[in-house]
Structure 1
């Protein structure tokens, strides 16, 4: 790049590596070089990586242009793609928070109101609880992988560690 590292300034922080990757792609598509700090550390540390801040840095001369570019990007649309009718605030009828329609049931997990359109989602769960359930399944798979990895390591190095421990204890007891 030819730009010294000390010339970079913080543009923003990101919630995760995928958000940082999207931002990097946007900046590079507009010829703004960037550095993403913490991206690799976060993925290497697995669960503990969630505590690593992902920072996006740009050259100080490009900072204002990068900020303007960031402001020009449309933010996420509200859930329900804007087609929901606004519920009457004076009505005593319960309404779905996602679609704004009259509620027909509640989420089995958190109690949020669900409408007819929500019926097809994850067996009586709202979108947030369904996402949490899916994330829980991914965490469970991650835990299984870790247990298997530890068992493999124990199988490979366990006998060697037992021999070393026996020799150390034998030397101490003599």
Structure 2
């Protein structure tokens, strides 16, 4: 759907691509055009893309109607873990995906936003990374890194070493 040049304003920010897709679908189903700024960059960067904010922009004339529409949608509790604080759609702060609270830091391994509730319980890593830490994934990654490092060294220094060895053997035999 083409969107003519207009003055766009920030409606909300989204925690991930699926949330942005839901907001886009809701807006477009109600005749409100929108742009999701950052979604292409986020998908191209993979894990590092989690630091790119997904911003839903809409024409300024539709801002109040879109805000009302977002307020009218019932907020679901993620995973049935209890009440979730709904982030302010006008806020430009990062929010925890699990608790909906303002993020105080990011996971040391994957970059997921963590709130004060997450931070104290998992000592700097998100729940997913804490679960993976005990499964030996770190040991497996360490082995793969060593193999890759040896292959790189062999590729870089193997042929010159073989040439020096061959010329030395040739000089000794002649």
Q: TM-score, normalised by structure 2?
A: 0.48
The normalised TM-score by structure 1 is: 0.48
